Amino acid sequence: MLDYADDWDGEGSLGYEEATWRRAVGLLLRCASAAWHADGTHGDAPRITSGPMGSIDLHWKLPQRELLINVPADPDIAPTFYGDNRAGEFAIKGSLDEARDNRWLAVWLAE
């Protein structure tokens, strides 16, 4: 993904910056580590995929829950999330404060 140049898809998409990658992976590691240390919560790793406008998506698709976190390329814009129980019910959405550990996301996925 970091080797993708601008217009890598022939549709004008931006390439991906290492800083955005590090931000996405850092968010994931802080959340997973905090959940593990707090109460032993652990789960499946997400797919890390290309998002729009140079952003990076963290996507969990589990049998009973689905969660997507989008980490924007602009470091001044907060990551956003959307999750549901895969039946379109019990949806959660919002933005994340990266200064927090956000371990509640790992707990929510594991429920």
Report CA torsion sign: 80, 24, 97, 41: positive
Strands (E), the chain: 47-50, 56-61, 66-71, 80-84, 92-95
Question: Given this model, what pLDDT does residue 15 score?
Answer: 83
pLDDT in tens, 73-109: 999 999 999 999 877 778 899 999 998 888 888 888 8
In a domain, 86, yes or no: yes
| Tally of domains within the chain | 1
Instruction: Give the pTM.
Output: 0.87
In a domain, 11, yes or no: no
In a domain, 74, yes or no: yes
| Phi, psi angles (nearest 5°) of residue 18 | -60, -35
In a domain, 104, yes or no: yes
In a domain, 5, yes or no: no
In a domain, 45, yes or no: yes
User: What is the residue range of 74's domain?
Assistant: 18-110
In the structure encoding, which two tokens stand for residue 84, read together? 């549901």
Q: How far apart are CA 78 and CA 95, in angstroms?
A: 6
In a domain, 10, yes or no: no
In a domain, 64, yes or no: yes
Closest CA to 58 of 46, 41, 73, 76: 46
Question: Given this model, what pLDDT does residue 107 score?
Answer: 81
